[in-house]
């Protein structure tokens, strides 16, 4: 029997993996790119799962207005979508991103729930259960199969699953 480890990948609204679970950390897509973690370093992938900015950062924020805040060698810097360092201007990182709240009646059914994002809400029935997704009516559309899950952004959601350690 092979050993398992937890890795992040990305699913579409049908619950299908479109980017294989291969990352030690994964964040939401913004402006076509998402930060991912491989071992200790963070870089950025596109919607096809291609690494477009190599993992080299200690921290990596979302892209807003074409710029992302990163930390490298303990120093906060700003990069463009090519990974080039740019002037940080006035030091403003990004505007707060807000999502509409989910219907309160739906949320009452669950132990824990995320926000409504792209017509789906991530939910967990009990403290020990796995995450899945329901639609705005509260009907389950993606089965509860994920140790952790994030909200949908740009048609994809990061989810954590067990994979063979040899992968």
**In this structure, what CATH number is given to the domain that contains residue 30?**
2.40.128.630
Which strands sit side by side in the sheet containing 131-135, from one edge to the other? 112-113, 120-124, 131-135, 140-146
Instruction: Tell me the C-alpha distance between 109 and 32, whole Å.
Output: 33
129 lies in some domain: yes
Looking at the domain assignment, is residue 91 inside a domain? no
Domain count of the fold of the chain:
2
Same domain membership, residue 118 and residue 64 = no
For residues 80 and 13, membership in a common domain is answered with yes
**Cβ atoms of 61 and 71 closer than 8 Å:** no
Whether the predicted pLDDT of 111 surpasses 50: yes
Residue 112 counted as domain residue: yes
Mean pLDDT of 48-72: 94
What pLDDT score was predicted for residue 167? 57
Two tokens, residue 64: 């807003």
CA dist 137 → 65, 66, 103, 106, 151 (Å): 33, 35, 9, 8, 17
Length of the chain: 167
What global pTM score does this model have? 0.84
Which is more confident, 54 or 165?
54
163 falls within a domain: no
- Indicate the average pLDDT of the chain: 88
Q: Please report the pLDDT score of residue 102 as a whole number.
A: 67
Same domain membership, residue 50 and residue 20: yes
User: CB-based contacts of 101: which residues, under 8 Å, 6+ apart?
Assistant: 115, 116
Q: Which domain holds residue 133?
A: 104-154
- Claim to verify: residue 110 and residue 147 sit in the same structural domain: yes
Quick one: 116 and 52 in the same domain? no
- Bridge partners (DSSP) listed for residue 54: none
**pLDDT for residue 94:** 44
Residue 92 lies in a domain: no
13 within a domain of the structure (yes/no): yes
Cα–Cα dist 68/28, whole Å = 13
């Amino acid at each position: 029997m092979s050993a398992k480890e937890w890795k992040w990948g990305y699913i579409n609204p049908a619950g299908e993996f479109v980017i294989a679970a291969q990352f030690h950390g994964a964040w939401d897509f913004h402006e076509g790119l998402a930060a991912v973690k491989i071992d200790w370093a963070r870089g950025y992938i596109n919607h096809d799962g291609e690494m477009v900015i190599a993992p080299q950062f200690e921290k990596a924020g979302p892209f807003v207005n074409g710029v992302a805040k990163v930390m490298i060698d303990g120093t906060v810097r700003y990069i463009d979508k090519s990974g080039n360092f740019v002037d940080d201007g006035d030091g403003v990182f990004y505007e707060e991103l807000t999502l509409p709240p989910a219907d309160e009646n739906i949320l009452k059914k669950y132990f824990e729930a995320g926000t409504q994002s792209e017509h789906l809400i991530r939910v967990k029935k009990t403290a020990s259960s796995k995450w899945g997704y329901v639609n705005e009516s509260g009907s389950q559309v993606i089965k509860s199969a994920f140790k952790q899950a994030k909200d949908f952004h740009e048609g994809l959601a990061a989810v954590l699953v067990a994979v063979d350690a040899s992968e």
